[in-house]
Structure 1
């Protein structure tokens, strides 16, 4: 298969594999989550788990009984890296699961981990908030999270915490809840607010020996008691190091413990981390060279977690072969497999892998591995972008560089689920690409990932990635890419309410745009910003000019959308007759273009117009047609919008009974997408809101 050749391998209806000969394969799996599932997001507890009975009992004693409003019980577990904080938290989470019937949530922070906003987004989705209804701002997410967790019995596990603010943002609004925190520092601010503190020290000598017995057999430990005692001492009695050395001995039954001791004795006796690295060195030396090569590649990857496919792409090796080597690294306790099929490694293990890569792999080979990995994310993002938004959307980046003429056959929800898994890795890949001067890959990744940013609205990540992409496009001297990235960045800034900054980027984009279609897109984004900020005459001017260009270029979808936006601007200007004409035209154009989503949006805008003019009967006719279209394309979110507009119209007319009936319809639609409680909150908020509903088309 050539560099541009792609293909599909479909297994059932839920999984698709997109392959590109020069890059590798990317698997897309549809999200499958039963509607009534109770979330349990914590990783599996380590096995075997040895005596931390005192600390476990301390946590048990703090489990709350109250179901009142108020601050949850917060328990902070602190200790040095590798001492077993994460293991204790996941063990306790599994042990206490039945006491917290509303679920167990989990987030990991640290240098390469999540942000509070990103964690809140995942928590809200786990609590059944429809993904499209997750608020875009940190404050909005926090407020909805607190509303959803009122008086709930929920356990929140926060690992690798570095500052108290990360915890404060994720506290449930319930005295019946509990928050377990692991960090390397004391987090004094939490202690001042009443958090319980548990210090975790290295295992006691007997407990360290017990863990070793369970890993490599009691018979061997009892046969060499002095060597066993010295071995766990050289491991610093740290569970991480003992697990790694124990796994090594477990798969080599003929090797004596004394031999293992001799291998570790050369390490600096005064530096515990050096002794731990010596443990990893010993295990590494036993690996076959192909497995060592995979381990070294893990040090090159810039991400917190990874799939086997991206690792195979980095190594330019078959996925099946790499998977077998990854299984061996898991057996050696150097890797952990996560519930979502990705793998992760402890920070100390990652540092060791990086050192081994630096010592044994040339810089050129390391750079090439990283570049292949970044191109793998480009392949996945391009495929997900096409699946989510089709090929008609304006793009400066060419998906054909990765996909050829192939159109991935998957639902948009499947594409977004892939972005959900990979977005943090994509951001890390963008940063690494920028550092290496691969500026074309940076702006391509940003543009391909835009459907995720627009759907999920992770604003901090969106804006950080956008600024990086704008800079890279400028350094790449790609004028069209810079203009496009400035528009996409401006959209994120607009969502955040940074209107002046957004306006500056759009002004620069208009100056840069060097072809008609791109110029029309900058006018579209400019009109959207003007509409959002109440400058309706300016919005009308921008949309009118964008419409003219789309008509000139003969673009049916763009013409329908811009006509719709013209109608929305005219509605806000209270030029109702002109607005009605524009919106009817938009509906006809959308029907001719075969764009039912645009047609339904136009109908909803018509209904909004009639609601403003007091013609409730005409509004109802338009909403009925919109509902029929939405049902035909199985668009539950649009059905919810129709019900909300009906409720808002009834509420404005003082018809309380009808407002309640339509509110209940909206709630039912939201419930089909997720949480019943979230449905009520979102419906009430939307009924009382006055929004323009405009969105960018390109």
Structure 2
């Protein structure tokens, strides 16, 4: 056993790791770690040499395998010797790892699971849920990640199943004790990772429903049904179908005992974790508390703005510390948003974008983009509430002002490097300017980070080090990390080395980088050449974070080599990681950017960026082809990347990749345009079509397309411009900016005609006709749709023909020309059925039904509406189903069957509301008209 203070702990629920205290142990090659994993899972038991061979090599063991086992056991004994010589012992013909179960994370997790079941059996269900949460927190990723062999593979499967079993059992306990709101985010992530686990799906739906989000719960079922039919050819199981039916009926048994789902709204809890070594700031926290108490009974939101100061001075740490202390006083929730005011590679969030994030956190699923409507909804949701809102890294008063609540007893904390005087002058905000740590506080931070014994042994040198760091918390933490890794050297030696390396002056002035560059260089200069090169090249990244595969393309290494480099940089606090994603602190990113510009030639930087851009382009092409197999890809016009692309083995995986990388793609498109990589820039944007179209992130889509269009305009071939203009037209139209959409599409038409590109001309004309229909400019829309129809006669193809005729049918139906609508609708239905274009068929059935109704033929209209309903229910197409229901309701109203009309219109309205469709207003107006008739 390890001696006192030298306890060995083994971690298996993620990357296999071993630690003594805070010190990580190097465990060697993957197969050596595989041997350790088997011994750790069976800690305290003898594992035979044969079992080790079977578990690590299986049937592929080489003749020399006995020697390999001996080598790995010897290597592990050396590595683990820091925890005591008797940790790994020989036992008969095998080996035994002498460890307590509490020293292996897997054993701790399984013991927690057993303890939770005992608590639940005894009636302590809420406490049992918390114990399971502790077990789940031990998972750091894929169990036994990167470990080879049949034993590890089988354990990975078992432990993954165990994790989801834990999640499901915890969810049941929390649902039973009224803690449904806490579950929503966790279950949402779980169903994304395991989309076909029906129990998880049911729990997620129920958590949403009980949190007052009935529409979202019902929409979740619709999505699940489409997924199951598309991927499995099956409907969801009985449990999900029954739950869905009970939700539609608002079954009281679904509500937690003694509560009403209609009186609750989601309670967000978004505050980040506190830093572990927070010190000082007692006076500042006392002042914040006085301000809060002084306005607690006013009924007005208290705005504490400009918790300001230089970067790295601890603004966010203080704000989070105080926010967590007072969070219980804000029972309606805590919001956190990074406004990105000083991100060197991403623009600050606009007020509209920030409002969108906050509204989503408050439970709103509205996609309406008008800033005034967003602000009004935001203030309404906060009215009369006690919510704590932490707005981090603000750049200006204008960015923040629209995020302030109206009448409420909320608390708003704003951090910024700027003073934000406008908030103080006009909005009654209180300002707290944050200064440097005192010498005593800086020394306390060093004691916490490197040990009181070392600091107290050399107090003068510790004080000198604090002075060199400018009493800046970030610099002190980086310095402390380097000191901790050099336990064999005195503080005096380390401080002298720091000075000898000719670091920049460390006094704090207006440029905080001049204060900490020296500390960063101390860390950087200790890196071996490969790590130093990787650190520099990562300074080229324009986006918020990076995955291992993309980083490999940037630094020019294999995936395994790159992962080792990234994790080494993370271990030395030069890079932050969250699983398999890595990102810089803003100041360290700036420092890395300075280094790469100073030490690499322009040609070397351009080559690295080209490699990264090519990787992203081929990844994006792979994603769009997986999502939309018929998406016509423009030739890439560059050699394929030699680096491994992401494994996008399903449409869901491809969509997840697009969502994960969307901000990086935007930043890279901008950088590609700056570098003259125009062909890559426009194609990156073009390949993100389905992501933005399906998610409704229209403002972000327009931003991306604006950059892409600049690149497309630099190319001689007009086709890229036309393709981007088509998407620009769609995005602008969906935002309600139809005038802008028409400008983009007409510009595309003007390019397509002289270029003789009739294929793209046809697409431009159809989109233009559709936009003009929304603007009720029917004559011009019909003109463009007729021209497109003539082109389909030349090109042939049932699908294109059906699309053009669908547009014509709808234009004629809406412009009160029902005979024409029927004429083109009849031909269009034949083409749609021949092409298998069921959505177009559904739309034309609805519009031909409208035409029959307007011609005074209700019997034929009803047949067409009912045909549309049958098709929609087969497809799971709720939008056209609602249109058909509302159409039948109009027929019932004409026949004076007002009760039937009302019931159908309510069903249509429910669907439109769930889909956030503009037609919800039409349904409401129809119902209001029925009420007038019956009154």
User: TM-score by structure 2 length?
Assistant: 0.62
- In the alignment, the residues of structure 2 paired with residue 154 and residue 621 of structure 1 have an alpha-carbon distance, to the nearest angstrom, of 53
Shift of residue 560 of structure 1? 2.1
Other-structure match for 1:481: 720
- Return closer, same or farther for 1:542/1:431 CA change in 2, 3 Å cut-off: same
- Return closer, same or farther for 1:69/1:496 CA change in 2, 3 Å cut-off: farther
Instruction: Confirm whether residue 227 of structure 1 aligns to residue 461 of structure 2.
Output: yes
Instruction: Confirm whether residue 391 of structure 1 aligns to residue 629 of structure 2.
Output: yes
Identify the range of structure 1 (133-142 vs 235-244) with the bigger mean alpha-carbon deviation: 133-142
Instruction: Confirm whether residue 135 of structure 1 aligns to residue 368 of structure 2.
Output: yes
Other-structure match for 2:150: none
Instruction: Confirm whether residue 434 of structure 1 aligns to residue 673 of structure 2.
Output: yes
Other-structure match for 1:51: 280
Other-structure match for 1:157: 390
| Residues 886 and 904 in structure 2, CA contact (< 8 A), matched pair in contact too | no
- In the alignment, the residues of structure 1 paired with residue 495 and residue 850 of structure 2 have an alpha-carbon distance, to the nearest angstrom, of 77
Instruction: Confirm whether residue 242 of structure 1 aligns to residue 473 of structure 2.
Output: no
Shift of residue 459 of structure 1? 4.6
| Residues 29 and 418 in structure 1, CA contact (< 8 A), matched pair in contact too | no
Shift of residue 241 of structure 1? 0.8
- In the alignment, the residues of structure 1 paired with residue 470 and residue 880 of structure 2 have an alpha-carbon distance, to the nearest angstrom, of 59
Other-structure match for 1:78: 308
C-alpha offsets along residues 326-384 of structure 1, whole Å, 9 cap, x if unaligned? 2232232222335x853332221111111222233332222122122222322333233
| Residues 388 and 411 in structure 2, CA contact (< 8 A), matched pair in contact too | yes
Shift of residue 163 of structure 1? 0.9
Instruction: Confirm whether residue 264 of structure 1 aligns to residue 498 of structure 2.
Output: yes
Identify the range of structure 1 (660-669 vs 569-578) with the bigger mean alpha-carbon deviation: 660-669
Shift of residue 443 of structure 1? 1.2
C-alpha offsets along residues 456-514 of structure 1, whole Å, 9 cap, x if unaligned? 45455434433332332232212111222223223344455555554443333223223
- Return closer, same or farther for 1:295/1:522 CA change in 2, 3 Å cut-off: same
Other-structure match for 2:259: none
Other-structure match for 1:694: none
| Residues 292 and 302 in structure 2, CA contact (< 8 A), matched pair in contact too | no
| Residues 136 and 495 in structure 1, CA contact (< 8 A), matched pair in contact too | no
Instruction: Confirm whether residue 194 of structure 1 aligns to residue 424 of structure 2.
Output: no
Q: Greater relative contact order (Cα 8 A, min sep 6): structure 1 or 2?
A: 1
Identify the range of structure 1 (306-315 vs 192-201) with the bigger mean alpha-carbon deviation: 306-315
2:710 aligned residue (463, 466, 471): 471
The count of residues paired between Structure 1 and Structure 2 equals 654
C-alpha offsets along residues 15-64 of structure 1, whole Å, 9 cap, x if unaligned? xxxxxxxxxxxxx9769894457544454332222223333444455558
Counterpart of 1:546 in 2: which secondary structure? helix
Other-structure match for 1:537: 779
Identify the range of structure 1 (457-466 vs 316-325) with the bigger mean alpha-carbon deviation: 457-466
- In the alignment, the residues of structure 2 paired with residue 290 and residue 417 of structure 1 have an alpha-carbon distance, to the nearest angstrom, of 32
| Structure 2 unaligned regions, length at least 5 | 1-156, 162-190, 196-200, 212-265, 927-935
Instruction: Confirm whether residue 306 of structure 1 aligns to residue 546 of structure 2.
Output: yes
Shift of residue 81 of structure 1? 1.0
Shift of residue 436 of structure 1? 1.1
| Residues 294 and 315 in structure 1, CA contact (< 8 A), matched pair in contact too | yes
- Listed as ranges, the matches of 1:658-677 within 5 Å are 659=902, 662-663=905-906, 666-667=909-910
Shift of residue 177 of structure 1? 2.9
- Listed as ranges, the matches of 1:22-37 within 5 Å are 34=204, 35=208
Instruction: Confirm whether residue 410 of structure 1 aligns to residue 650 of structure 2.
Output: yes
Other-structure match for 2:43: none
Other-structure match for 2:746: 507
Shift of residue 277 of structure 1? 0.3
- Return closer, same or farther for 1:663/1:263 CA change in 2, 3 Å cut-off: farther
Other-structure match for 2:227: none
Instruction: Confirm whether residue 109 of structure 1 aligns to residue 340 of structure 2.
Output: yes
- In the alignment, the residues of structure 2 paired with residue 258 and residue 196 of structure 1 have an alpha-carbon distance, to the nearest angstrom, of 43
| Residues 909 and 923 in structure 2, CA contact (< 8 A), matched pair in contact too | no
- Return closer, same or farther for 1:609/1:159 CA change in 2, 3 Å cut-off: farther
- Listed as ranges, the matches of 1:256-405 within 5 Å are 256-265=490-499, 266-269=502-505, 271-272=507-508, 273-338=513-578, 342-388=581-627, 390-394=628-632, 396=634
Counterpart of 1:311 in 2: which secondary structure? helix
- In the alignment, the residues of structure 2 paired with residue 216 and residue 628 of structure 1 have an alpha-carbon distance, to the nearest angstrom, of 71
2:818 aligned residue (557, 576, 585): 576
| Residues 308 and 319 in structure 1, CA contact (< 8 A), matched pair in contact too | yes
Counterpart of 1:570 in 2: which secondary structure? helix
| Residues 523 and 543 in structure 1, CA contact (< 8 A), matched pair in contact too | yes
Shift of residue 244 of structure 1? 0.9
| Structure 1 unaligned regions, length at least 5 | 1-10, 14-27, 674-678, 691-698
- In the alignment, the residues of structure 1 paired with residue 466 and residue 291 of structure 2 have an alpha-carbon distance, to the nearest angstrom, of 32
| Residues 67 and 153 in structure 1, CA contact (< 8 A), matched pair in contact too | no
Other-structure match for 1:444: 683
Counterpart of 2:713 in 1: which secondary structure? helix
- Listed as ranges, the matches of 1:5-44 within 5 Å are 34=204, 35=208, 38-44=267-273
